[in-house]
Each structure stands twice: as C-alpha cells, then as structure tokens.
Chains A and B, each alone.
Chain A
C-alpha cells in the first residue's frame, strides 16, 4: 500500500488478512479442481485406500479411455457441440435482427419494445418448467436436440439483445445514410454494413451463449428422456450409475466435461469477463 507512511500494527494486520484471504480464495477455487484432476488418474484401489493427497503411483490414462467407452461420452459430446453451435448462431441472428430494427431505426414505441425485450432477464425460468416442457411436446420437439436449441435460443435472447443493441448503438449513423443514398435496401444495410461492423459485440454475446449452452443442465434434463438427445451435462447425472464400480473413471469423465470451457476461458478470459460484466449492468 502506501510505502511513504510508517506501518502501524493495524496496517500490518490488515496486510496479513488481505493476503490471507487472497490466497485462501485462490486455493478454494483451484484445489478441488486439482484434486479431482489428480484423482482421475488413480486406480480405484489407490483412491479408496491411499491418502487423498498422494499422487498416483502410475498415471492411469486408461481411466480416460474407459470414460469415453463406458458412458457414450463421444455422442453426448457431439450433442453438446451441435446444440451450442446451432443455438449460438440462431440466437445471434435473431438478437442482431431485433437489435438492428431497434437501434438503427427510431420509431414510436421503440424504447417500449426494447424494455419489454430486456425485461426477459427478470423471469425465473425455473418456474416455467411445466409449460416449456409442454410447448416442446406440442412442437414435437421433446427428446430432440431441436428442443434444447429452440429453448436455449429463447432463454438467451434478453442478454444477447442487450449486448448487441448496446454495441450497435455506437456505430455512427452516417455510414448507413450514405449507403441508403447509394441505393442500399433495409436488408442490405443490415447484412452488408451493420452486421459485419457489430462483430465484436456478436463475439462477446456469442461466447456467453455458447458457454451457457455447454453448461446448461436443468432444461436438458426436463426436455430429454433418452440418449437420443442427451447432452454432456446431463450425462453427468448418469455417471454415478454408469460408473458405479469405476469411481475414478467417473472423475475422469467429469474432468472431460469441464475442459472445453476452461480452455475457452484460458484464451478469452478478458473478453468473457467484460461481456458478463456488461450483461449484468442493466440490473
């Protein structure tokens, strides 16, 4: 802190507590992850008998091979990737279209519609379990990837519209005006001018949607019944029965489900953090 002043006992104590908590929370976030990572390389015997702090005697990479073969992990992985990619694309197109209509065109009721669209974040989605399941039944989507794609697209619209609309509003109007004079239509202004310029906003929103889809559990459970549409997060629920005799294999499977977002986060943490920060400010 301030080095020019002399440090009183209170300051020294404060400094101690500051570093104590900084490190305590760092360990709280990291150590359980490290522990299951290390444990996922042990044999079941080692895991049950030896100290939880010990390193594996032989690193059992076979646990990871088993994880893939026992639980149909590759298929669930594929489902999760399909759902995440298609949802992200669909969500961004829908969000960008409405954001374009609302941010580039000023008309009566403009703000009212925007407020209405953004207020979607206030709805506790968990309370809508029954009707959302019924709607997917009605659309003949129940137990298909389509159910997850459509539902996730809708659930993520308020946040995406907020982020994309905020970004689009900063693009100068003059660009479009000259394009209109050059004969650009409404649609062309969107596809040729505004959509490409909104790319950074779309990347932020898209990253958040992708992570949401990858991690979503509750509606994946409600909207699917069979392996036909089971995503990886839902698979976790069944690991306990599938791996009933292979606990460390289950830990390996859990590590595998965590890895994709951790990898994405490693490379894009600044963007993700700033995107999530912006998404919250609307309150």
Chain B
C-alpha cells in the first residue's frame, strides 16, 4: 500500500517536473542557446540585409583583425578589464576592510558607496556628460578653484576621453565592496583575537588573517570585473559613442555600429570574439590566481 503510494507519486511527479522546467527551458533556448549558436555559425557567412547568406569562411575575422578600429576596441576592452580587476577591485577591498572594522558611520558609508549600483547607468552617464562639459561643467569649475581650469573638453579631447570615461566608472566600486565586505564579516572573530594575542597589529592581522581568507571572494570579484570589462558598452556609448576618432571604442560599441548598418555576419563575428576572448581571459586569470599564494 505504502509502496504503491510512493510509486504513484513518483510517476506523477515526472510530468510535473518536466512541466515546471519547460518555461525556463524554452526561454533559455530562445535567448541563450539559439543565439550563441547563431552568433558563432553566422559569423562564418556574409549575411547582411543586402545579400542572402553564403558561407564565407573566416573572411569576417580576417577583415576584423586587419581593421585598426577593431584593434583599438580590443585594446580598450583589455584596458577596461584590467582597470576594473586591478584598480576597482583593490579599492573595493580596501574600503571593505576599513568598513569591516566598523568606524563611525560605517553603515552610512556602505549604503552610499553602493547607491550608484542601483541608479541607471544611462542616467549616470548623462550626469557625467554634464560634469565633464567644458564650459559649464562642474569639473572644470572645481579645477578653476585651484586655477587649473584649462577649459579641457574631457570627452571630446583624444588625450583625455578614455581616462574620463573610465574614471566615472572605476570609483563606483560599491558592488564589489559589498561582496567582499560580506565575506569579511564571515571570518570568525576568534581568529583576530588569536592573532592579537600573538602580538599581531592591525596591519599584520589584515595581511595574515584577512587576505588569505578572502582569496575565494577576491577571485570571484576579479573574474566578474574581467567579464564586465569585456562586456563594457553602455556608458561609453552614451558618453562618447566610441569617439573621438575611435579612441574610446570597445568591441560592444563596434558591434552596435555593425548592427545599426545591418551587417549581421560582421556583427556576429565581433560577438563571437567577445565570447571567446572574455572566456579565455577569465579562465587564464582564474587559473593563475588560484595557483598563486
């Protein structure tokens, strides 16, 4: 009797399980699986709005890697990835460690540092466009106080544009900070007490107790930062559109120009490059980091 019930339940559940997984599978199929295969396979064709699809081998790729604009875009994606991973994450970690010692007002600091993460990137980009404005922007006005206002057109000048776009993003470290902070609070207080009894000062505690314990979360943060670097699109698109003269171009903005001119196959060859290059860099960094220290 009881075995009967169990069997019936088992049989009935299979239908339920499949039915419950179906919506997710359909959406994954439509928006992840099918697109990935399309991106990879059609990148080997000459598909665009103007011609039917023919196999074209690696022509798109050879053109792409001969194109100086695209090479600039790749270089910029590497700059983004490394600045986010090795400037933003260390800042985030430092601030997380400072806040974990619970200085006065630490909750306020944490909440405010995280605030930009919930505001739309497009609104923040427009705000920074106003800040960087050469004639009535607040940045040049602040520099004016120190009589250093040279009327720099931060986003329009080829020498400053990339730095300007990166700076407005790199100090928004709140996301990585809260991840690291949560992990830091997970460390048992007794470890610090033991270190203190052994005569370790605050610095030694952080270096010998905190850092080794934070290694997994730091690897996660660096991986995510790398991934964001290769995916970067929005604020560059809104602040400079990849200009002036392509100095801020990224693979994302370049892909978007291909999409706008209906060059689907060329666009997809960029998409494939983003997927592959990002994937390779992330696995390289992960294997290097998890081996060391």
Q: Which of B32, B114, B117, B173 gathers the greatest number of chain A CB atoms within 10 Å?
A: B32
**Residue A113 lies at the interface, judged by CB distance under 8 Å to chain B:** yes
Query: Chain B residues near A123 (CB, 8 Å)?
Result: 32, 36, 275
**Residue B116 lies at the interface, judged by CB distance under 8 Å to chain A:** yes
Contact present for A261 and B119 (CB under 8 Å): yes
Contact present for B31 and A32 (CB under 8 Å): no
Known: A52-B136, A269-B111, A273-B114. A129 touches B256 (CB 8 A): yes
**Residue B163 lies at the interface, judged by CB distance under 8 Å to chain A:** no
A interface footprint on B15-26 (CB within 8 Å = 1, 0 otherwise): 111001101100
Contact present for B17 and A52 (CB under 8 Å): no
**Residue B166 lies at the interface, judged by CB distance under 8 Å to chain A:** no
**Residue B61 lies at the interface, judged by CB distance under 8 Å to chain A:** no
CA distance A128 to B267 in the complex (A): 9
CA distance A161 to B217 in the complex (A): 21
Chain B nearest CB: distance from A94 CB in Å? 4
Contact present for B271 and A128 (CB under 8 Å): yes
Contact present for A127 and B131 (CB under 8 Å): no
A interface footprint on B226-246 (CB within 8 Å = 1, 0 otherwise): 010011011001100000000
Contact present for A36 and B130 (CB under 8 Å): yes
Query: Chain B residues near A127 (CB, 8 Å)?
Result: 39, 231, 255, 270-272, 274-275
CA distance A128 to B172 in the complex (A): 26
Query: Chain B residues near A32 (CB, 8 Å)?
Result: 127-128, 131, 138
CA distance A94 to B103 in the complex (A): 43
CA distance A218 to B260 in the complex (A): 13
**Residue A245 lies at the interface, judged by CB distance under 8 Å to chain B:** no
Question: Which partner residue on chain A sits nearest B228 by CB separation?
Answer: A124
Contact present for A101 and B17 (CB under 8 Å): yes
Query: Chain B residues near A180 (CB, 8 Å)?
Result: 9
Per DSSP, are chain B's interface residues mostly helix, strand or loop, or mixed?
Answer: helix
The residue from A113, A153, A154, A273 contacting B21, defined by CB atoms under 8 A apart:
A113
26 contacts between A and B (CB under 8 A): A1-B202, A26-B109, A47-B136, A53-B141, A93-B23, A95-B24, A98-B24, A101-B21, A124-B230, A124-B275, A128-B36, A130-B38, A130-B259, A130-B268, A150-B31, A154-B27, A190-B20, A215-B118, A217-B120, A218-B234, A222-B259, A233-B123, A236-B120, A261-B120, A280-B220, A283-B224
B interface footprint on A84-104 (CB within 8 Å = 1, 0 otherwise): 000000000111011011100
Chain A nearest CB: distance from B144 CB in Å? 9
Query: Chain B residues near A122 (CB, 8 Å)?
Result: 227, 279
Chain B nearest CB: distance from A1 CB in Å? 6
- List A246-276 residues whose CB lies under 8 Å from chain B: 250-251, 254, 257-258, 261-262, 264-265, 269, 272-274, 276
Chain B interface residues toward A at CB < 8 A: 9, 12-13, 15-17, 20-21, 23-24, 27-28, 30-32, 34-36, 38-39, 42, 94-95, 98, 101, 103, 109-123, 126-128, 130-131, 135-138, 141, 171-175, 178-179, 182, 202, 217, 219-221, 223-224, 227, 230-231, 233-234, 237-238, 252, 255-256, 259, 264, 267-268, 270-272, 274-275, 278-279
Query: Chain B residues near A276 (CB, 8 Å)?
Result: 117, 175, 178-179
The residue from A100, A211, A214 contacting B20, defined by CB atoms under 8 A apart:
A100
Contact present for A126 and B35 (CB under 8 Å): no
Contact present for B202 and A2 (CB under 8 Å): yes
Contact present for A277 and B178 (CB under 8 Å): yes
CA distance A251 to B256 in the complex (A): 27
Query: Chain A residues near B233 (CB, 8 Å)?
Result: 126, 218
Question: Which partner residue on chain A sits nearest B167 by CB separation?
Answer: A28
Contact present for B238 and A237 (CB under 8 Å): yes
Known contacts A131-B34, A254-B126, A281-B217, then 17 further A-B pairs from the complex at CB < 8 Å, ordered by chain A residue: A26-B109, A30-B115, A39-B130, A107-B17, A124-B231, A126-B274, A127-B270, A129-B267, A130-B264, A154-B27, A186-B15, A217-B120, A217-B238, A218-B237, A233-B122, A254-B123, A258-B119
Chain B nearest CB: distance from A16 CB in Å? 13
